[in-house]
Amino acid sequence: MDRAFLTTRYLHEVTSRRARASELLGAVPESELLGSIYLGRYLSRPLFIGRAERDQLYGDLENVRAALVSLPDRLFGGDLASYARAVGANEVQVRAALRSTGRPVTRQARADLYADSAGFRLLEFNIGAAVAGMDNADICRGLLAHPVLAEFAGIHGLGYVDSMREQVNNMFAETGAERGSFPVVALAASPARHADIGSYLNHLVARWRELGLDAHACRVEELEVAKGRVWLRGRGVDIISRLFLVEDLQEPAALDVIGPVLDAAARGEVKMFTPLDSELLGNKAALAMISDQRNRHLFSAAELASFDRIVPWTAMVVPGQVTLEDGQRVELLDYAVRHQQDLVLKPVLLHSGDGVLPGWQPGLGPRRWQQRLSEAVASPHVIQRRIRPVPELFPGDDGELVPWIVTWGVFTGVGGYGGVLARAATVASNTGVINVDTGASVGCCLSAGQDSGPTGGPGGDGLDGG
């Protein structure tokens, strides 16, 4: 069974019963946690994936992750500062990263992919704690409350990983906190991020408390360093779960607030989940480094095979010649001007689609595209080969099948494959960048051969890996 087979069979079941999108959502709309962040925008069915496909995808993603985290050693002789500058970090960000390093590098990651006619293709690779969508198992549970999906999942042996339980599993494993110790965790966000999603964070920490963490949401400036510890509202903090990003550190003043916390973690007075350097290792410029034909001799045959399957051609936007996938040498900027419809321009250190410019964006003329390319030379950007995803069909409000473009957000961690957050927009919307901020609907994924366990997590309690 593969995703095409499972999708076709499920859509046949749905259409034969004339089920509508609103009823197929099951119990999803009842979730306060989901409602506080996704505002009622949900996909009417899960994605599906076969066991062999899932295992192949996880293997490829793990090869890419291992290659990315090795880049400072393989390309820069272990000099993290030189690596950070090469991927576009300014001096404030470099200093912050050097004050917040972790070895081994966290295994928690989310890869964002499209599925085209040949398979999965990588859009970006996010490494670290500040990855959204760990709540996708709540969507799975809510959808499975509808009898049509519940019956289908039972017949085909479909299950899911509880990504949030895996996130907690990652935190215990990588900080060394003992199971059952109920460590105090500060989920610390930048002021702007906290203002945007503070309600959701309060729901999230309540869930974390159910999973064994004494968790509290806060703004990073609420943390105090004193008497050999980090404190939050009078509580000694054991773990800081970082929800502030490298992009929040643009000016030296930012280190006045964050620096003491980073230093406390470096002294061992608190654990940081995850250190800032992990974010730089998942930087878009890092994908350009593993895509660069000049670096292929540094990687194993297995790594190269994974790159060739899922990593699209990616290059830093700098004047000079580059090598294309077919070995052809071209002048980058001239090539990018001539092939506007086949390329996308991305800033390297921003998230959530900020600053991304698809060359095929409606109304984007050649003159404006060339201007943006010229501007990109002055600040760190990559150019990436366009991926042409195959639309997925979802039941509509009147029972019709509607084509959507879907981004697969595939989580990995210490337990292996960690579930999927789906974000999608209708083909008719012609949305260039699909994310929650631009109005995307969200969903989850059911996998063949995946035991969800009695509570929706691998192994039952969800804390033993998966």
Closest CA to 346 of 78, 140, 123, 69: 123
Answer whether residue 302 is part of any domain: no
**Same domain, residue pair 403 and 341:** no
Peptide bond before 183: cis, by omega within 30 degrees of 0? no
**Same domain, residue pair 353 and 413:** no
Answer whether residue 292 is part of any domain: no
**Same domain, residue pair 38 and 109:** yes
Handedness of CA 307, 313, 314, 319 (dihedral sign): positive
Q: Are strands 184-189 and 239-243 parallel, antiparallel or unpaired?
A: parallel
Q: State which of 385, 418, 437 marks the end of a domain.
A: 385
Tokens of 204: 């999230």
Answer whether residue 296 is part of any domain: no
pLDDT computed for residue 307 by the predictor:
97
Q: Residue 171, CB half-sphere, CA atoms under 13 Å: how many?
A: 31
The count of structural domains within the chain is 2
Answer whether residue 303 is part of any domain: no
91 lies in which domain range?
3-283+389-448
**Same domain, residue pair 44 and 165:** yes
387, 369 contact by CB (below 8 A):
no
User: What single letter denotes the amino acid at residue 435?
Assistant: N
pTM above 0.75, yes or no: yes
User: What single letter denotes the amino acid at residue 177?
Assistant: A
pLDDT computed for residue 352 by the predictor:
61
The backbone region for 239, taken as left when phi is positive above 0, alpha when psi lies in -120 to 50, beta otherwise, is beta
What does pLDDT average to in each consecutive run of 10 residues of the chain (466 residues)?
Answer: 96 94 96 94 98 97 97 96 94 91 92 96 90 94 97 96 97 96 96 87 96 97 96 97 87 87 95 92 94 95 97 96 94 97 91 83 95 93 97 94 97 97 95 86 95 47 33
Question: For residue 334, how many other CB atoms are within 10 A of its CB?
Answer: 11
**Same domain, residue pair 156 and 18:** yes
H or E segment and range at residue 127:
strand 119-127
- The packing angle between helices 191-210 and 163-175, to 10°, is 90
Question: For residue 200, how many other CB atoms are within 10 A of its CB?
Answer: 19
Q: State which of 341, 364, 385 marks the end of a domain.
A: 385
**Same domain, residue pair 30 and 156:** yes
Closest CA to 67 of 275, 291, 245: 291
**Same domain, residue pair 107 and 207:** yes
**Same domain, residue pair 198 and 247:** yes
The backbone region for 322, taken as left when phi is positive above 0, alpha when psi lies in -120 to 50, beta otherwise, is beta
pLDDT computed for residue 351 by the predictor:
66
Distances (CA, A) of 369 to 293, 372, 456: 26, 5, 47
**Same domain, residue pair 86 and 199:** yes
pLDDT computed for residue 463 by the predictor:
32
The DSSP output letter for 20 is: -
**Same domain, residue pair 16 and 42:** yes
Answer whether residue 290 is part of any domain: no
**Same domain, residue pair 212 and 333:** no
Distance CA 188, CA 41 (A): 26
* CATH code, domain carrying 318: 3.30.1490
Answer whether residue 98 is part of any domain: yes
Distance CA 325, CA 363 (A): 29
The backbone region for 212, taken as left when phi is positive above 0, alpha when psi lies in -120 to 50, beta otherwise, is left
pLDDT computed for residue 461 by the predictor:
36
Q: State which of 332, 351, 385 marks the end of a domain.
A: 385
The DSSP output letter for 387 is: P
Tokens of 452: 């969800």
Answer whether residue 460 is part of any domain: no
Q: Residue 414 burial (CB < 10 Å; 0-12/13-18/19+)? A: middle
pLDDT computed for residue 456 by the predictor:
41
**Same domain, residue pair 433 and 372:** no
Answer whether residue 454 is part of any domain: no
DSSP-assigned beta bridge partners for residue 159: 447
User: What single letter denotes the amino acid at residue 19?
Assistant: A
pLDDT computed for residue 455 by the predictor:
40
Distance CA 384, CA 298 (A): 22
